[in-house]
Amino acid sequence: MATACSFSANHKHQTTSLSPFIISRVKSSVQPHRRQTKILTKHRSSIHYRNNRWISASPSSLWTTTTTTTVSTDIDTINKDDDATSSLYDPFATANKIEPQTKPLPESMSFYAKYLINYFCKTPKLGKKIRGQRRAMWKKLNEQRKNVMTLAGYTSDIVTPSFGFLFLGALMTSIVPNYWGKCIQCVATLSATKGQLLEAIVGLGVTSTLAALFTGIRGSLFWIGGCRANYNVRVKLHRSLLLQEAAFFDTNETGYLLSRLNSDVNKIGQVISYHVNVVLRQFAQFVFGSIYLIKISPKLSLWTFAGIVLVAWLSAVYGDLARQLAEKVQDTFADATAVAETSFSMSETIRAFDGAEIESDKFEAAQSKALELEEVQAWAYGTHKFLSDTLQSILQVGLLVACWAVGKSGGLPASELTTFMFYTGFVLESSNEVGDQWAKIQQAVGASSSVFDLIKRIPAIRDPPASGNASASAPGIVNGVETDSVVTNGHDSANNVAPIIALKNVTVEYEAMERPALMGINAKIYSGDRVALVGRSGSGKSSMLRTMLRFYDPSVGAIELDGQDLRKLTRAETASHVSLVEQEPHVFPMSLMENVLYGIDKDDVDSETGKPQYSAKYRKKVADCLSLAGIPVEPGNELGLTLDTRIGEGGRSLSGGQRQRVAIARAIIRSPQVLLLDEPTAALDSESERKVVESLQKAMEQTKSMVMVTHRLGVVRSLDVNRVIVLDRGEIVEEGHPEDLLQDEGSLYAAIAREQGITKLSTLNQNQLTK
């Protein structure tokens, strides 16, 4: 009997009514994580779930149960069991709260001390080390400045007004202490006239207002500059990453690249909008303030500058340490992001194998490394602040004593000494802020260097400078132009018919593999060929297919397309000749129309929505290709799909077979010369496979040739394959018609067929076709 459930809209009064059936909510005494089933039978539905509790609607009702336990006891057990279970997932439950393990503060300080000792002991002559590192830092900063001005798009329309208002704001801010000194002198001495006091107050008001105005405009312009820098760098980095070769993504995890694209790029904008802004402003104020100090008393100014030099040296040491730490922290964050990205993308596998704790431990370990380094950063900052502030306090006390001595001897009037002390504090504060922000700039330099390196990275596999010599484009839709489809069947190598694809002594090596994936491959694909690449796992089938798309370049040999070396063709030219249908096709969270026309120029783009607009000719072509692939889009079809139906992230609104057929339509709309199929039916059930095979049979009428990777030999017969290439350990060991290879009992192909229960392709039944 089915279970009937009803839920009210208000979760506080959520109610579930159960028909006479099974309520299994009691823990097993033998296996704590499983429940012992108890059957509670009632004459009518009288048990409800209200306010997160199981209750009996009629306490006087008669219950019969397979055990002697009373109804009330069973319900209490259920409720207690639910409470215990739910508390396991409650992050605020005190009894089950799991806290990440962090180091006690003494241990954290000890780690910082060891790190600091190691840092200072690397080079005995610290001064020489700092000078060398400063030269290297200036060189690196100059390089980063060029990167910001070019790659980040920080152009003159932002630079000129930003620096102009920065200079004006710093100048006005530097004049303010002078008027403050005059105001205090007028009030303190009581000898100033009303006009002098008014002049000082007006001067103070005007300079303060102008300083605030220029500072506000300067802040806005630098903020805009930072946002533009983020935008330009992020877009250029994303484009650069997309243009990298396939091997690049084999050695760089997605999470690592996402961390560079987000966290590291943000630091570049922050440097421009805040750190550089503050450094330049404070440096300008330092210069203007120093001019006033020298003007008031050159001798006293020397003592001020001597103290500032000590603070600057301390800031240089701290800045170098901060830069090194920032690089390490960003690397550890990138590693942690890679772990998180993997765990989210494989959530179902993790759940299936109960690996949540394993992945959580991995992420915690990666974060723990970052936390250690961040704590070192915190202690280093605290040490720097303590030492620099102490030096400044000593300097100020010394200057007070010196000013007292000078004033007592009559060297300077009291008003001048007051103004001098104002400017001393002003200059010291500016120099201190310059030191702080300089250290943060060095941190950002360390974090952003990898970003600019990735932007400037030249892909190992890239388009030639200007090919211009490629063969004619394949029929179909190419770069927005529809061409006629021309299909020829059959080939005749004896009559010197040129192959469409030729692999000549091809050897392919992967960086992570000890032995080559392909070794000395020689193969030709002619017009009309239907070729199957067969072999056991790891034999090199998919590698051979991917070299035809130039995902990888051979380390030895060459691959030719219509007589042209693939390395002399652009990506667009290769894509116009060759199309791919993957084992697990990737579809985009767009409409069916956009998915099928992916990579083909749009007719127009809607100025308001930004979505592509396609002409009636395009829509008819897409509808025909989808219909050919077995996806009906006409009005009133049984699937309820239209060309404008959005299929969700990963094509979640479609079944696996439907996604495969969308991929087929995407491939055949270009009418490619060669259709590449990578295990197109491996992940499908029998019914879906049958429909996909039917779609492929129709699709191959739109192409000249087909190359398919498969381990299901039944598909070889159903797609009328006329040649089989058998690979083993990266080498071609057999080649010929499938029937001929099957008759040779000593062949590897025949052995694979026997493993699948196939003895003769021509007599395959429907069940064997799916093996």
Mean pLDDT, residues 208-213: 89
Q: What is the pLDDT of residue 602?
A: 61
Q: What is the pLDDT of residue 489?
A: 37
Report the run of H or E that residue 561 belongs to, with start and end. strand 556-561
Alpha-carbon distance of 317 to 134, in angstroms, equals: 10
Mean pLDDT, residues 262-290: 81
Mean pLDDT, residues 30-54: 40
* Res. 227 pLDDT band, cuts 50 70 90: confident
282 token code pair: 């404070």
CA dihedral of residues 677, 681, 684, 689 (deg, nearest 10): 120
Assess whether pLDDT exceeds 90 at residue 283.
no
* Res. 671 pLDDT band, cuts 50 70 90: confident
Assess whether pLDDT exceeds 50 at residue 767.
no
Q: What is the pLDDT of residue 756?
A: 82
Alpha-carbon distance of 729 to 516, in angstroms, equals: 9
Assess whether pLDDT exceeds 60 at residue 30.
no
Mean pLDDT, residues 456-482: 57
Neighbouring C-beta atoms of residue 554, cutoff 10 Å: 21
Mean pLDDT, residues 610-634: 77
E strands, 220-310, in order: none
Q: What is the pLDDT of residue 138?
A: 61
Pure H helices in 641-710: 656-668, 686-699
Q: What is the pLDDT of residue 519?
A: 92
Burial of 277 (0-12, 13-18, 19+ CB in 10 A): buried
Q: What is the pLDDT of residue 243?
A: 86
Mean pLDDT, residues 515-535: 90
Q: What's the mean pLDDT when you consider all of the chain? A: 73
Q: What is the pLDDT of residue 571?
A: 84
List pLDDT tens digits, range 699-758: 777 777 889 998 888 888 888 888 999 999 999 999 999 888 988 888 899 998 888 887
User: Does residue 376 or residue 55 have the better pLDDT?
Assistant: 376
Burial of 298 (0-12, 13-18, 19+ CB in 10 A): exposed
Mean pLDDT, residues 555-579: 88
* Res. 518 pLDDT band, cuts 50 70 90: very high
* Res. 29 pLDDT band, cuts 50 70 90: very low
Assess whether pLDDT exceeds 90 at residue 549.
no
* Res. 32 pLDDT band, cuts 50 70 90: very low
Q: Are 485 and 365 in contact (CB under 8 A)?
A: no
* Res. 770 pLDDT band, cuts 50 70 90: very low
* Res. 122 pLDDT band, cuts 50 70 90: low
pTM: 0.65
Q: What is the pLDDT of residue 37?
A: 35
- Percentage of residues of the chain with pLDDT beyond 90: 6
Assess whether pLDDT exceeds 60 at residue 35.
no
Q: What is the pLDDT of residue 275?
A: 78
List pLDDT tens digits, range 403-422: 777 777 776 777 777 778 87
Alpha-carbon distance of 309 to 129, in angstroms, equals: 18
Q: What is the pLDDT of residue 114?
A: 67
Q: What are phi and psi of 482, to 5 degrees?
A: -90, 130
Mean pLDDT, residues 569-578: 85
Alpha-carbon distance of 449 to 136, in angstroms, equals: 14
Q: Taking CA 107 as the corner, what is the angle to CA 106 and CA 111, rounded to the nearest 5 degrees?
A: 120
Q: What is the pLDDT of residue 116?
A: 66
List pLDDT tens digits, range 414-447: 777 777 887 887 888 888 778 777 777 776 776 6
Q: What is the pLDDT of residue 473?
A: 39
Give, as one character, the DSSP assignment of residue 272: I
Q: What is the largest CA-CA distance in the chain?
A: 120
Pure H helices in 34-125: 71-88, 105-121
Mean pLDDT, residues 541-561: 90
Give Cα 208 to chain centroid, integer Å.
46
Q: What is the pLDDT of residue 121?
A: 63
- Residue/partner pairs of 257-262 with CB below 8 Å, 24 or more apart: 258/337, 258/341, 259/330, 259/333, 259/334, 259/337, 259/338, 260/334, 260/450, 260/451, 260/454, 261/234, 261/237
Q: What is the pLDDT of residue 109?
A: 66
Q: What is the pLDDT of residue 734?
A: 92
Alpha-carbon distance of 380 to 2, in angstroms, equals: 66
Assess whether pLDDT exceeds 50 at residue 178.
yes
34 token code pair: 């499983």
Mean pLDDT, residues 122-127: 49
Q: Out of 75-84, 145-154, 208-217, 237-246, which region has the weakest mean confidence (pLDDT)?
A: 75-84
Q: Which of 164-173, 314-323, 351-360, 650-659 has the highest mean pLDDT?
A: 164-173
List pLDDT tens digits, range 54-109: 444 444 444 443 443 444 455 555 555 555 544 444 544 444 444 555 666 666 66
Neighbouring C-beta atoms of residue 507, cutoff 10 Å: 15
List pLDDT tens digits, range 330-375: 778 777 877 777 777 667 667 666 777 777 787 888 878 878 887 8
Q: Which domains does the chain have, with CATH numbers?
A: 11-88 (no CATH), 107-456 (1.20.1560.10), 477-585+672-769 (3.40.50.300)
Q: Out of 34-43, 194-203, 238-247, 359-368, which region has the weakest mean confidence (pLDDT)?
A: 34-43
Assess whether pLDDT exceeds 90 at residue 533.
yes
735 token code pair: 């080649």
Mean pLDDT, residues 676-689: 77
Mean pLDDT, residues 273-284: 81
Q: 131-146: b or e for each residue (b if 16 or more CB lie within 10 Å)?
A: eebeeebeebeeebee
Report the run of H or E that residue 502 belongs to, with start and end. strand 501-508
